[in-house]
Amino acid sequence: MIATLVTSIALAASLIGLSAPTAPIATEDARPIPKLTADRWIVFDADADVVLASWNADTQAPMASVTKVLTAMVVIDSVGLDEVVTIPDFVTNIRGSTAGLVAGEEWTVGDLLIAMLVRSGNDAALTLGHYVGGESIDKFVVMMNAKARELGLENTHFANPNGLDHQEHYSSARDLLAIIAASQEYPDIQRIARIRIVTMPEGPDGESRTFTNTNKLLGAYPGTLGVKTGDTPWADKVLLGVTEQAGRTVYSVVMGSDDHFSDTREIVDWAYSTYSVNDRWLRPLYSQEGGGASTGSPEISEGHERRLSAMQPLDDGQWNSSSLEDLPKAAIIGRWIREAIPEIAGGEG
């Protein structure tokens, strides 16, 4: 009970301006925000609903094949995964990455989504766009841009369903972050994005088809759950990432990268070295280095205290980062504290 009350006091102090024990000073070896090769990027704590850091996050730029995540959303919104589609002639001549589709063969929408998201098949993306758009790619692109407006994407415009370079096809790191968040509401996209290797239906001549996910972080970087890679001459390398470690979920976007896998690992490593939302609540309870302002709560382990004191704090400046007070639930928690401990927090009971 005492430990719970101490925690509540600390929460109240941090949320409504009461004095509290000073938060620990970061140690000298706390990791700075890494320098990436990417021209534009953003990293987001999905549990706390805060941007941890970003760089040029609102700059419009080509997005390459990560386009296919929104293509998949429009497809799933419109048709069933078990519907059967005949591969049209024109998609077999598309440039870039393909799934090796053959004109006239039949695929289900679900298998085409796998071919598009795992193999990054431009032919699969065009086939789906052609089918859902009523045999019109242009109509499907209109549907894509309507979805972008629905999601509130202010720096995004689509010109095709596959992400090939076009002057009217662009997005920003912040908008792509919104696409990641929206994609997590689609269980089929989540499931497909986690596939590393998959065997698909045989070709018309009996040839086997095995697709390996273009996202090399799957199975190589702990907690990687997707979502999509991209790489074109105009866009360079792009990667939308979802990572979950120790119950904490991080979304990441890198654009205009020389090495999207290395950049993503760097920024996600850094993200997990920052304070989680739980750590932010607990920070006021820890003694400042050399200050001795400890609560003495038995629920706070010595190991946890050492970890917190070594974690990288967030600061303002050119990096777009968020403080405790910026958490969307801060006001709600503040009101709850005023009701729960009115005498301490100045509430009315």
Residue 143 has pLDDT above 80, yes or no: yes
Average pLDDT over residues 243-248: 93
How much is the pLDDT for 296?
41
- DSSP letter at 214? S
Average pLDDT over residues 185-197: 97
Q: What does the alpha-carbon distance between residue 27 and residue 47 come to, in Å, rounded to a whole number? A: 25
Average pLDDT over residues 279-285: 56
How much is the pLDDT for 202?
86
Least confident of 41-50, 57-66, 304-313: 304-313
Enter the tokens of residue 250.
Answer: 């991080």
Beta strands in the chain (DSSP E): 40-45, 50-55, 84-86, 106-108, 197-200, 209-212, 224-232, 236-245, 248-257
How much is the pLDDT for 308?
45
**What are the tens digits of pLDDT across the range 68-119?**
999 999 999 999 999 999 999 999 999 999 999 999 999 999 999 999 999 9
Residue 277 has pLDDT above 70, yes or no: no
Task: Map tokens 């021209």 to a residue.
Answer: 39
Q: What does the alpha-carbon distance between residue 74 and residue 109 come to, in Å, rounded to a whole number? A: 12
Indicate the pairing of strand 40-45 with strand 248-257.
antiparallel
Q: What is the mean pLDDT of the chain?
A: 81
Fold type of domain 61-214: Beta-lactamase (3.40.710)
How much is the pLDDT for 48?
84
How much is the pLDDT for 327?
52
Residues 6+ apart with CB under 8 A from 151: 178, 179, 182
Residue boundaries of the structural domains of the chain:
2-23+275-345, 61-214
Indicate the pairing of strand 84-86 with strand 209-212.
unpaired
Q: Identify which has the larger pLDDT, 156 or 18.
A: 156
**What are the tens digits of pLDDT across the range 195-217?**
999 999 888 888 889 999 999 99
**What are the tens digits of pLDDT across the range 253-272?**
999 999 999 999 999 999 99
Q: What percentage of the chain carries pLDDT values higher than 70?
A: 70
Least confident of 7-16, 19-28, 76-85, 273-282: 19-28
Enter the tokens of residue 231.
Answer: 């790489």
How much is the pLDDT for 19?
36
Average pLDDT over residues 146-173: 97
Closest CA to 252 of 264, 237, 261: 264
- DSSP letter at 6? H
β partners of residue 110:
none
Q: How confident is the model at residue 339 (pLDDT cuts 50, 70, 90)?
A: low
Burial environment of residue 271 by CB neighbours within 10 A (0 to 12, 13 to 18, 19 or more)? buried
Residue 292 has pLDDT above 70, yes or no: no
How much is the pLDDT for 50?
85
> What number of CA atoms fall less than 13 Å from residue 155's CA on the CB side?
16
Scanning 28-133, the segments in alpha helix (DSSP H) are 67-78, 109-117, 122-132
